Amino acid sequence: MSFVQLCLTTVLAPLFGSIVVGLFGKWLSKSHAHLITIAGVGIALIASGLVFYELFQTEYAPQNFSVYEWAKIGGFSLGVGFLIDSLTVIMMLVVTSVSLMVHIYTIGYMHDDPGYKRFFSYISLFTFSMLMLVMSNNFLQLFFGWEAVGLVSYLLIGFWYTRPSAILANIKAFLVNRVGDFGFLLGIAAIAVSTSSLDYAQVFAAAPSLTESQLTITNSFQVPLLTFICIALFVGAMGKSAQVPLHVWLPDSMEGPTPISALIHAATMVTAGIFMVARMSPLFELSETALLFIMFVGAITAFFMGLVAMVQDDIKKVVAYSTLSQLGYMTVALGVSAYSLAIFHLYTHAFFKALLFLAAGSVIIAMHHEQNIRKMGGLWKRMPITYVTSLIGTLALIGFPAFSGFFSKESIIEAVHLSELPGAHYVYLMVLSGVFITAFYSLRLFILVFHGKPRMSDENYSHVNETPKVVTVPLIVLAICSVFAGYAIEPMIYGDFFAASIRVGEQHGVMTKMAEHFHGVQAMITHGFVATAFYLLLGGVLLAWLCYSLVPSIPKLLAPVLAIPSFILARKYGCDWLYIKGFARLGVGVGKVASALGDRILIDGLMVNGTASMVRGVSMQLRKIQSGYLYQYAFAMIIGLLELLTYFYYQT
Amino acid sequence: MDMPILSILIWIPILAAILIMVMGRGVGEGVKWFALIVSMVEMILGVLLITNSHMSADMQFVEKHRWIESFDIYYALGADAISITLIVLTVFITLLVVIASWTNVKHQMHNYLAAFLLLEGLMVGVFCALDAMLFYVFFEAMLIPMFLIIGMWGGPRRVYATIKFFLYTFFGSVFMLIALLYLYSTTNTFEISQLSNAAIPLNVQIFIFLAFLIAFAVKVPMWPVHTWLPDAHVEAPTGGSVILAAIMLKIGGYGFLRFNLPITPDASRELDWLLIAMSLIAIVYIGFVALAQKDMKKLIAYSSIAHMGFVTLGFFVIHQMTAANTDFQMLALQGGMIQMISHGFISGALFLCVGVLYDRMHSRNIDDYRGVVNSMPVFAAFMVLFAMANSGLPGTSGFVGEFMVIVASFDANLWYSALAAITLIVGAAYSLWLVKRVIFGDVLNESVAALQDVNAREFLILMTLALMVIALGVWPAPLVEYLQPSLERVLNLALMTKIS
């Protein structure tokens, strides 16, 4: 099979599975439905592997080719095509392998759900959309994939469509993403207009010549064109990758069937924004302002969303907020031009976050759909496999040396430390304290779920059992990956892996400096045990241990002192309140006023019916003249005649 | 082709309609089959029209006969790609409407079908008249069957709606008549192509432009002359709504392309700010108005107005563009034109969906529904698809035109683009909120629980439209390519100056 065919197979196999099961599911048995979709995604995974191999053979030389022309207007051509390089291929592997795991896990998790086949159709469609997004060679197709994953997330969040909370969450997710897409589309429009192309290669080639261009916002106010483009594109990424203030949809997306859709949202879909910025590195490198903006947005997300995770009691929500915080770390990495580190963290995060979500799912199954961690405890005895794998996932998440998260997160912190962007030292403090926060909430979750005395009836506790193999096997596989994925740091970050796909400007030498400090994996681990971050990590772990295991009365004692912060955190800074009670109501209110005042009173009342009644009024008056009395008519005639005569008399 | 195919397309349905009316009630159930055959013949002729046309900007299938000699009025027909596309849309949608009306019209079925066939012939006539007077005759005559459809088979407030509809549109077209008569008095011709080449001083152009504007703005409809549309839609029977939204609104856009841009190019350039402002208000303001609606048909009607805003924005933004070549001006025109076609499919489909619900529940009130997906899963899937298309999801036709117009108008002004792009949020908000309230949720009451899912006939119609929406969204290239020469000709005329 040729390279082009391989790529097409990767994309089309999941689409085929989705369409067959989606449209003809009625005539398929359950096992046929999952076999077809799993085959589709499996083929995609194998094809991705072969693509990787082919690319490896050619030393990661980018492959760029078009599939068909979508539309052509004069010299402005819009197409569908693929750009395959190291960045793409990493994403292809992450997407297809996580997706395959999700498919297999779903067989067990959704076993009794009436929407079984529909679910498989959705997740295969998701795989297709995500692949279209990452493999695209132009902005049009990127936007297609971008919106298509939005559609699937809408469908998945609202999967249980009879639940009011689910159908509120899905419209919310879609609309918040659309706010981001508003920026994204304007960015695309600006690119199209300024470069007459939407093809990556052409746009990137033209970008350096635009550094002097200005965009007129108002007559007296101009911004550099590239800054506008990059920030507009990044607004799109803020929506998809759930950065503050467009983060509100992600925690709610947990309304979908857990933990599978949560996994899709948290481990794959939300990485689209991170991927996009890394893909656009040739553009972002040209705008200092945009990079600065990205760095701060990322830092705010990493720090403040981590804080919220500290007070959540729903097992899924803790993991969701943790995801937000980790996405913040990736964004910070993008901001300091450490694109490869962002992708590297994305890659390690995909494994350990997938592990944590599936472990949470395992706990939820065992607890008969109880999600409140206040009602758990002591589960380690009943669920040893889930316990051990969760421990591994937690260690990876908090960045314990030698686990995968350590390599990526520690590197990001170091990169921020080395960055010369203005304000980078504040951001450094934020990401560093983020380590403490992460360690605290992760251990809090871990201890409350698995340790201590069970906070449930003995009868319930005795019914908790380790989950079946369809659940535990993916856990074990992911746990192994969570341990070892980080060791790829040497070839991926400090080798030539991303050399052809990520472009970093001379002035942003963070990664070059990092390379100077890097003396192999072994040295990094050893250094990891004496780094500042490690002490903060230990501090977080100890505090959590102290508060939730050793002296469980501490949180209660501290409650009055921390009343105000916990009030704010429990309400998630009031964002939801502002958006739903504020913006959404305002929008509908504006609509009602426009409808009542504008349309009904002003236009219909005054203009339309007003004209009508005016015509009526005038004719009512005119009617009076037509009295029907002859003498009145005769009198009028005489008067008129006299007037005419006088007129002519004076004329002549 | 020697056959006068355009005349055949116009007169077959008109003669069939007359035949049905003459036969009266006596025809019985067979009338449905007769109407179906006629509209299928029309569809086949429409396809022949495409396959026999060649890619050029010229008018094809031209027929020209003297009609009223003393005023140089000709029965002149011809079609370029713009006309052909809209004619095919007309015969396609009419065919679907005939099928959709199969069982849900209870009284005077024969007259109902006759009215639609009459309407079909007249609309085809509008799209291929080369003589301005002939255009005017079709343009006005078209009102009569639509007036009857709403007035006879409409809802409780149908009298108010029909009178409003009639006065509004009639009021608009009177100005066009005056403009045409004035043009005749100075140029001695009613031929549109000759009018497009005639030199006209700027102040005269402005008056003529405004006269045409009133006529076509009412038809589109543009803000602020749009309020007849929601009323007409609410009262019209399903078929009437579908034809109204899918085709009749397009006549306004077609008029702008055929009359305003080529005949009064300098006035278009002078007054483009007005049209752009009206379009942007339609997109943003009407979008919010749609959000507040409680009646499904009203909501879709307002959504139609907002979507047609992209058509007029695309057509009139061309004069403000700064790029060195005409690619983005073409992109704007293409966007407007494709938006018309796409809106024909999507709005037609949405009104048909409301019709499907109305046939079962006899209510268009959003609050009377919840959780329809539980009893009508197949229908729900269609509704979600069309709502997504309505909110411009890439991969559906709704995206293509909006995307093109938003990108192209960025070349003129960042703010045009930004305001138009608000539709991304507001359009999705009203479309998906409708879906949330009607389709999703738990079942509201027993009558929703007892709903029957779509039958084979309804499935066929919705599936056909769904395929069109997706096909046009995934691969618009053939249509774009087909339209390109004709739109280039319009652009060239629009960019000329005619001030002598």
pLDDT tens column, A550-582? 887 777 777 777 778 877 887 778 787 888 887
pLDDT tens, A6-30? 999 999 999 999 999 999 888 888 8
The reported pLDDT for the residue numbered B124 is 95
A603/B406 touch (CB, cutoff 8 Å), yes or no: no
By the CB < 8 Å criterion, does A72 face chain B?
yes
> DSSP letter at B499?
-
Does the N-terminal peptide bond of residue A257 adopt cis geometry, omega within 30 degrees of 0?
no
What is the Cα–Cα distance from B134 to B191, expressed in whole angstroms?
Answer: 9
B422/A188 touch (CB, cutoff 8 Å), yes or no: no
Nearest to A69 among B325, B425, B477 (CB): B477
pLDDT tens, A389-429? 999 999 999 989 889 989 999 999 999 998 888 888 899 99
Give the residue ranges of DSSP H helices in A241-287: 249-252, 260-263, 271-279, 281-284
Please indicate whether residue B57 or residue A267 has the higher confidence score (pLDDT): B57
pLDDT at B328 over 80: yes
Average pLDDT of span A153-178? 90
The reported pLDDT for the residue numbered B55 is 83
What is the Cα–Cα distance from A432 to A532, expressed in whole angstroms?
Answer: 8
**Count of Cβ atoms closer than 10 Å to residue A526 Cβ:** 13
In Å, how far from its chain's centre is CA B262?
A: 20
The CA-CA-CA angle for residues A585, A588, A592, to 5°, reads: 130
Do A213 and A178 meet the contact criterion of CB atoms below 8 Å apart?
no
Would you state the structure tokens that stand for residue A156, as one six-digit string?
A: 């998945």
By the CB < 8 Å criterion, does B487 face chain A?
no
The reported pLDDT for the residue numbered B160 is 86
- The residues in A 192-231 lying below 8 A from B, measured between CB atoms, are 192-193, 196, 215-217
Does the N-terminal peptide bond of residue B377 adopt cis geometry, omega within 30 degrees of 0?
no
The reported pLDDT for the residue numbered A266 is 66
Q: Are strands A76-84 and A214-218 parallel, antiparallel or unpaired?
A: unpaired
Nearest to A74 among B326, B417, B429 (CB): B326
* One-letter identity of residue A544: A
Do B331 and A76 meet the contact criterion of CB atoms below 8 Å apart?
yes
- The residues in A 108-147 lying below 8 A from B, measured between CB atoms, are 140, 143-144, 146-147
Residue of A19, A66, A73 to mutate, testing the B interface (most B Cβ within 10 Å of its Cβ)? A73
Do B254 and B261 meet the contact criterion of CB atoms below 8 Å apart?
no
The reported pLDDT for the residue numbered A473 is 86
Task: Rounding to the nearest 10 degrees, give the CA dihedral for residues B361, B362, B368, B374.
Answer: 20
pLDDT tens, A309-367? 888 888 888 988 999 999 999 999 999 998 999 999 998 998 888 889 888 888 888 88
* DSSP SS3 for B228: helix
Sign of the alpha-carbon torsion through A182, A184, A190, A195? negative
What is the Cα–Cα distance from A217 to B415, expressed in whole angstroms?
Answer: 8
- pLDDT band (50, 70, 90) for residue A261: low
Would you state the structure tokens that stand for residue B181, as one six-digit string?
A: 């008569």
- pLDDT band (50, 70, 90) for residue A295: very high
By the CB < 8 Å criterion, does B159 face chain A?
no
- Treating both helix axes as pointing N-terminal to C-terminal, what angle do A271-279 and A339-366 enclose, rounded to 10 degrees? 170
What is the Cα–Cα distance from B358 to B335, expressed in whole angstroms?
Answer: 33
Average pLDDT of span A45-58? 91
- pLDDT band (50, 70, 90) for residue B78: very high
pLDDT tens, B143-161? 889 988 998 888 888 888 8
The reported pLDDT for the residue numbered A522 is 85
Residue of B228, B298, B407, B435 to mutate, testing the A interface (most A Cβ within 10 Å of its Cβ)? B407
pLDDT at B352 over 80: yes
Residue tagged 């209110």 (tokens) = A589
A151/B477 touch (CB, cutoff 8 Å), yes or no: no
Residue of B369, B406, B432 to mutate, testing the A interface (most A Cβ within 10 Å of its Cβ)? B432
ipTM of the complex: 0.92
The reported pLDDT for the residue numbered A618 is 78
By the CB < 8 Å criterion, does B55 face chain A?
no
Q: Which of A262, A265, A218, A258 is nearest to A240 (CA)?
A: A265
Do B172 and B215 meet the contact criterion of CB atoms below 8 Å apart?
yes
pLDDT at A259 over 70: no
B394/A178 touch (CB, cutoff 8 Å), yes or no: no
**Count of Cβ atoms closer than 10 Å to residue A646 Cβ:** 10
Nearest to A162 among B291, B422, B442 (CB): B442
Do B338 and B85 meet the contact criterion of CB atoms below 8 Å apart?
no
Beta bridge partners of B63: B77
Average pLDDT of span A154-182? 90
CA distance B467 to chain A (A): 13
Q: Which of A327, A315, A328, A305 is nearest to A259 (CA)?
A: A315
